[in-house]
A and B are shown apart, each in its own frame.
Chain A
């Protein structure tokens, strides 16, 4: 049983179609959505959003936002989204290295937190991108 997923940012539409399963990262932890889910609204943490449609999995990096789940639909209003194939591994690696270097130096607490977040973010992006290279179906859900 499929339900309607809209994955949107303020600037573009990534997905609007029927899908079978979505896994996303809410502020209180990961959650999965199937048709008939209890209505709920959650803020999203930076992390991976996985969509299953039929036999194929699609992966996105979502930087945060809000998700609304209804029994027959799910809307993800994301701040920014990158499709797995859009993630620039080299840039992510450089960013991770920079963050690691910055963390090894003595810095203020606020700076440390920013860099820790940055590090976490780049790690998620890299793991998504790395998985993409190992899956046999790196295809994307929609061309939009």
Chain B
């Protein structure tokens, strides 16, 4: 039988925990709203530029460009987007599982990582994988410039032929209640890349007129495409992180409430038992005195 005092102590400590999780829930939900709005704002550009690149990839005369060329795959570069902090449910581990599965499906291929976020850095180190670059501390309302170091490394690896494909792994924001781990091939850009489910890019497959000329436009568009997609996926990841954290903290808060309720019940039972015992002791003591 636990003592009254020890139960009181435990109730107090659980109440403290509840206060912390409640506060974290509220912080996460405020950040989540902003991050969700940001996802809404950044999605259209990313979608459009991806569709445009896929259309351009379908044009025969662009094929010689290395960014449109399929080559035998010896090394796959993976941009791994993760969170800096924990306590956000299973979103990081779900992405890591997906990475592991992806690698298991491709025996004989080497993998190199560019990591965004501390949790991803831990994962890569733990698993003994090779990271060629990593950044952390990206701000949720940050500018695209913040992720450029990561994208520059990736583009360089690809254009210098060390990577034959570039993929990005991140957590897509679906809704507050649902976040999906996703893998997406970014390079080379292939006409058949438009994923199932996403609406097909408009079926224009003819030639364009170019001003100033194709090469100049592709030189501008390709890095921009790559940066924008990575940036947008990082924003998705933020919205997912905050949503997942808010839900995790909400669950923790309600669990704490439940524990407090149960313990208060036990505490009151014990207290009543003690009072009853005391009264009966006093009564029997009084009896003894009267009879004596």
A interface vs B, CB < 8 Å?
A: 6, 8-13, 16, 26-28, 38-43, 66, 68, 70, 73, 75, 77
User: Which of B41, B42, B217, B232 contacts A41, CB < 8 Å?
Assistant: B217
> A79's closest neighbor in chain B, by CB?
B224
User: Which of A8, A11, A38, A40 contacts B48, CB < 8 Å?
Assistant: A8
Interface of A is mostly: strand
Q: Would B48 and A41 count as touching, CB distance under 8 A?
A: no
- Smallest CB separation, B57 vs chain A (Å): 14
Q: Would A77 and B202 count as touching, CB distance under 8 A?
A: no
> A78's closest neighbor in chain B, by CB?
B45
> A73's closest neighbor in chain B, by CB?
B202
Q: Would A26 and B49 count as touching, CB distance under 8 A?
A: no
Q: Would A11 and B220 count as touching, CB distance under 8 A?
A: no
Complex CA distance for A26 and B46, rounded to whole angstroms: 22
Q: Would B44 and A39 count as touching, CB distance under 8 A?
A: no
Give 1 or 0 for each of B48-68: 1 = CB within 8 Å of chain A CB. 110010000000000000000
- Smallest CB separation, B221 vs chain A (Å): 6
CB-CB under 8 A from B42, the residues of chain A are 10-11
- Smallest CB separation, A21 vs chain B (Å): 19
In this complex, the member of A42, A70, A77 whose beta carbon has the largest number of chain B beta carbons within 10 angstroms is A77
- Smallest CB separation, B255 vs chain A (Å): 38
Complex CA distance for A78 and B284, rounded to whole angstroms: 90
Q: Would B48 and A43 count as touching, CB distance under 8 A?
A: no
Q: Would A12 and B41 count as touching, CB distance under 8 A?
A: yes
| A27 and B208 in contact, given A13-B44, A68-B52, A77-B49 (Cβ under 8 angstroms) | no
| A39 and B204 in contact, given A6-B48, A77-B48 (Cβ under 8 angstroms) | yes
Q: Would A43 and B220 count as touching, CB distance under 8 A?
A: yes
Q: Is B212 an interface residue (CB 8 A)?
A: yes
Q: Would A40 and B41 count as touching, CB distance under 8 A?
A: no
CB-CB under 8 A from A68, the residues of chain B are 52, 208
CB-CB under 8 A from A42, the residues of chain B are 210-212, 217
Complex CA distance for A86 and B206, rounded to whole angstroms: 38
User: Which of A8, A26, A41, A73 contacts B45, CB < 8 Å?
Assistant: A8
> A75's closest neighbor in chain B, by CB?
B48
CB-CB under 8 A from B49, the residues of chain A are 77
User: Which of B41, B209, B220 contacts A38, CB < 8 Å?
Assistant: B209
Query: What 4 A-B pairs are tightest by C-beta distance, nearest first?
Result: A40-B209, A42-B211, A8-B45, A28-B211
Q: Would B206 and A39 count as touching, CB distance under 8 A?
A: yes
Q: Would A40 and B202 count as touching, CB distance under 8 A?
A: no
Q: Is B144 an interface residue (CB 8 A)?
A: yes
> A72's closest neighbor in chain B, by CB?
B202
Q: Is B228 an interface residue (CB 8 A)?
A: yes
Q: Would B217 and A43 count as touching, CB distance under 8 A?
A: yes
Q: Would A40 and B211 count as touching, CB distance under 8 A?
A: yes
Q: Would A41 and B211 count as touching, CB distance under 8 A?
A: yes
Q: Would B210 and A77 count as touching, CB distance under 8 A?
A: no
Q: Can you spell out 23 A-B residue pairs with CB atoms less than 8 angstroms apart?
A: A6-B48, A8-B44, A9-B45, A10-B228, A10-B231, A11-B41, A11-B42, A11-B144, A13-B41, A16-B44, A26-B211, A28-B212, A39-B208, A40-B209, A40-B211, A41-B217, A42-B211, A43-B217, A66-B217, A66-B221, A68-B208, A75-B48, A77-B48
- Smallest CB separation, B60 vs chain A (Å): 15
CB-CB under 8 A from A8, the residues of chain B are 44-45, 48
Q: Would A27 and B48 count as touching, CB distance under 8 A?
A: no
Q: Is B195 an interface residue (CB 8 A)?
A: no
Q: Is B207 an interface residue (CB 8 A)?
A: yes
Complex CA distance for A20 and B266, rounded to whole angstroms: 74
Q: Is B216 an interface residue (CB 8 A)?
A: yes
User: Which of A16, A27, A77 contacts B211, CB < 8 Å?
Assistant: A27
